[in-house]
């Protein structure tokens, strides 16, 4: 891990970080010097152990982002362990294992579950971290949306709608939290070849996405990390309420 990295001395929480893109986010933040709370409903211990064994600082915390008390306990654990909280990456979401289907075949229960995890989960995490950030008059919140918001993806209406809500939420939060020195931005990835996507998306669907890009290759989790580090670092201190799409030029936003 870097001594004197761009996030040296900062403390970050990454939700949904036990695997896939979230795990890569956690590793990237640690590589830039941040102490990282690796949070998930799944076992985040292996990711935290990897960071610690590599010379970084990480703490695994089990947390369901739809449970307000569990989220508050996660934040308290972060502050108790590392003494402060500077960065939240709201990554936890349902996507990789979600079945693609026509909108009329999405059940009300499926819709409600998607909104509970993807939208209310992000809301609960922001509510929980803001007091610690307000104390220092500084913070970075990066909400993870999706390039599908700007394309109008078929067969995933509940997912795309939830990520549209994240964009709107981020803009409103940026207005509310600006006077507190807290920046709120949105990272919107295109289709990224995480383990779950590779397992659940057909080659034809992936190829169609790649063909829509100006840079015609598959996106990997590490492709998202340069933008994430920028949004979490002091380099973006005058940037808030913005959406950065990272998808190889499928969306030119």
Question: In whole angstroms, how far apart are CA 66 and each of 98, 108, 149?
Answer: 18, 18, 22
Both tokens of residue 198?
């590779």
> Would you tell me how many other CB atoms lie within 10 Å of the CB of residue 110?
15
Per the listing, tokens 């709201």 go with: 90
Name the residues annotated as catalytic: 159
Both tokens of residue 212?
């829509």
> 196 and 97 in contact (C-beta within 8 Å)?
yes
Distance, in Å, from the CA atom of 124 to the CA atom of 158, rounded to the nearest integer, reads: 19
Phi/psi for 8 (5° steps) reads -55, 130
Phi/psi for 14 (5° steps) reads -120, 120
Identify the bridge partners of residue 207 per DSSP, sorted by sequence position. none
Phi/psi for 239 (5° steps) reads -120, 120
Residues 237, 243, 249, 253, CA torsion sign:
negative
Question: In whole angstroms, how far apart are CA 35 and each of 9, 44, 108, 225?
Answer: 7, 15, 39, 16
Both tokens of residue 242?
């913005």
Per the listing, tokens 């940037």 go with: 239
């Amino acid at each position: 891990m870097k001594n004197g990295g761009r996030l040296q001395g900062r403390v970050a929480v990454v939700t949904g970080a036990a695997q896939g893109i979230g795990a890569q986010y956690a590793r990237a933040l640690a590589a830039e010097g941040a102490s990282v709370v690796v949070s998930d409903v799944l076992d985040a211990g292996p990711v935290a152990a990897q960071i610690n064994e590599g010379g970084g600082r990480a703490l695994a915390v089990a947390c369901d982002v739809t449970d307000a008390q569990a989220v508050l306990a996660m934040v308290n654990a972060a502050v108790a362990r590392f003494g402060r909280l500077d960065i939240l990456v709201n990554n936890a979401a349902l996507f990789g294992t979600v079945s693609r289907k026509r909108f009329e075949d999405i059940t009300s229960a499926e819709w409600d579950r998607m909104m509970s995890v993807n939208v209310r989960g992000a809301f609960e995490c922001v509510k929980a971290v803001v007091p610690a950030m307000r104390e220092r008059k500084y913070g970075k919140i990066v909400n993870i949306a999706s390039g599908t918001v700007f394309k109008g993806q078929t067969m995933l209406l509940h997912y795309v709608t939830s990520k549209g809500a994240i964009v709107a939420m981020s803009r409103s939060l940026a207005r509310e939290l600006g006077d507190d020195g807290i920046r709120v931005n949105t990272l919107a990835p295109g289709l990224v070849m995480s383990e779950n996507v590779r397992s659940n998306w057909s080659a034809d669907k992936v190829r169609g996405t790649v063909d829509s890009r100006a840079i015609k290759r598959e996106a990997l989790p590490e492709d998202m990390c340069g933008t994430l580090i920028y949004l979490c670092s002091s380099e973006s201190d005058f940037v808030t309420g913005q959406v950065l799409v990272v998808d190889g030029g499928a969306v030119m936003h």
